[in-house]
Amino acid sequence: MATFGTLSDRLTETFRNLRTKGKLTPADVDGTVREIRRALLDADVALVVVKEFTGKVRERALGDEVNKALNPAQQVVQIVNEELVAILGGQQRRLQFAKTAPTVIMLAGLQGSGKTTFAGKLAKQLEKEGHTPLLVAADLQRPNAVNQLQVVAQQAGAAVYAPEPGNGVGDPVRVARDGVETARRQQHDVVIIDTAGRLGVDAELMKQASNIRTAVDPDEVLFVIDAMSGQDAVNTAKAFQEGVDFTGVVLSKLDGDSKGGAALSVTSITGRPIIYASTGEGLDDLEAFHPDRMASRILDLGDILTLIEQAQTAFDEAEAMKMAEKLATEQFTLEDFLDQLQQMKKMGSMKKMLGMLPGMGQMKQQLDNFDDKEIDRTEAIIRSMTVAERRNPKVLNGSRRLRIARGSGMTVTDVNQLVQRFDQAAKMMKTVARGGVPNIPGMGPMGGKPGASAKRGGKQKAKSAGSRSGNPAKRAAENAGIAATASAPTGSGFGLGGAAAEPTAEDLAQIQKLFGKS
């Protein structure tokens, strides 16, 4: 996750140096704590939180739990992990619903913090969980705030109550109160009230928010805080806590390139738990906040549980079984692959998912270079094929490939690469489905005799692949497609765009590092 990128790099480097030592001296511990302190301060974590955190880490690192450990360095990492979990709130705190509907959720925060977008994200998530939320447009101050909420509500598929045009017109307290009554009358079980923000904390903002809270008596008051605003956000949170008070925190823009100090400070400073984290611009980019999982991400230990949860929501178990059957019986087609792409897209950004794997912080550059639009381009090519072509790619001659390339806005080379990668991947998946060990292209045969496939290939005669069409234009097009097939460079995965070299010793070392000893 980009927010903690710099902090994660600094901490990972500190622990890497620590692992070279068999036994830790007090000087080693002090040096490590000093590096952790610098990393946290650079990440804009509040000074009082840094002092408390490093004090606890130092005390525990100098204690018996490290001295008697078989792996002292690993024990220090464990201590830092546990203390990070503590400052992030310890236990996950879920949204609390009222015993009698509707549950009233009031949103507060500065202008630009992401309240309106979060309102739509929360509404969509609650819809998925079987609730019937009503969004209430009580931000009548910011220009076009009411219109924005209506658009977001439509995208989320949620109802909206917006009796006033906004832009300075209307009474937000009355709108909030009437919105709750409307929800009760129309049997909505959750009300989400979007309130006004300001560019800075002021008396008018606090008074308005306080009056709305008094009028609707909300079950939850969620303070939406911009994770990119560093320690300023924590000062704002303190001001809101004193002026209005809130029951929980939402971290917005957690995918931004920021230091992340707000996330690591707000719970310790306010005593209020973080309930949600907004991790992207899409309405599906909202996660329940788990302190232990976030600590693991910061320390580059991965977040496999969140990855599994996302996969479970996106993938249909019965469909997965059918796919496994098709793979084993060599019936897996490009049509099936298109279905798989659709399910993968439901999980969100591929880059984000890969970032949840342990050790991926060490492959940051490769992750940054990963293009999520690659899936869209692959999908465009497959959608440009006929059903018969998807089910049997062997019928794809030069003219068909040229038509597909034009239809998808890609090149014939791109189409050739996709078909080539699909053939290779289908063979590998079939081998795995049958319990075998695949021969990975570019990495040599695995589990078989080296050079066997080369010998077999050497005995095969090259076939003439020239077009026999009587139409000169058609013949030229088909020959161009066939020539591109023969010379198509290898891409990555099912990807397009560019040749990939054979894996180097450094590449293999990275893989070994990722899956081997930490």
509 burial (CB, 10 Å; 0-12 / 13-18 / 19+) is exposed
Q: What is the per-residue burial (b if ≥16 Cβ within 10 Å, else e) of 470-504?
A: eeeeebebbbbbbebbeebebbbebbbbeeeeeee
Has 112 been labeled as part of a binding site?
yes
Q: What region does 71 belong to: left with phi over 0, alpha with psi -120 to 50, or beta?
A: beta
DSSP symbol at 158: -
CA-to-CA distance for 326 and 429, rounded, in angstroms? Answer: 10
244, 249, 254, 256: CA torsion to nearest 10 = 10
Q: Which amino acid is located at 134 in the chain?
A: L
Whole-number Å distance between alpha carbons of 153 and 342: 24
C-alpha closest to that of 388 among 426, 425, 430, 333: 333
The gap between the terminal CA atoms of the chain, to the nearest Å, is: 20
Q: How many CB atoms lie within 10 A of CB 341?
A: 15
Annotated ligand binding at 113? The verdict is: yes
User: What is d(CA 107, CA 194) in angstroms, rounded to the nearest whole number?
Assistant: 5
Is 399 annotated in a binding site? The answer is: no
Query: Residue 4 gets which letter from DSSP?
Result: G
Q: Specify the residue for token string 């180097």.
A: 504
162 in Cβ contact with 130 (< 8 Å): no
In 3D space, the residue among 123, 91, 129, 93 whose CA is nearest the CA of residue 105 turns out to be 123
Tell me whether residue 431 is annotated as binding. no
Is 197 part of any known ligand binding site?
yes
Three-state SS annotation for 281-294: CCCCCEEECCHHHH
Was 114 annotated as part of a binding site? yes
- Is 465 annotated as a binding-site member? no
Q: What string of H, E and C letters represents the secondary structure of 312-339? A: HHHCCHHHHHHHHHHHHCCCCCHHHHHH
Ramachandran region of residue 216, left (φ > 0), alpha (ψ -120 to 50) or beta?
Answer: alpha
Total residue count of the chain as it appears in this document: 518
Name the CA radius of gyration of the chain, rounded.
Answer: 28
Q: Is 19 annotated as a binding residue?
A: no
Give the whole-angstrom CA distance, residue 397 versus residue 327.
25
Say if residue 253 carries a ligand binding annotation: yes
254 is in an annotated binding site: yes
Bond before 102 cis per omega within 30 degrees: yes
Question: Does 158 belong to an annotated binding site?
Answer: no
Q: Which residue has the tokens 């005995």?
A: 459
* CA proximity to 378, closest of 407, 341, 323: 341
Q: Are 290 and 307 in contact (CB under 8 A)?
A: no
Q: What is the 8-class DSSP label of residue 157?
A: T
The answer on whether 278 is annotated among ligand-binding residues is no
Binding-site positions for GTP read 109-116, 194-198, 252-255
Binding-site positions read 109-116, 194-198, 252-255
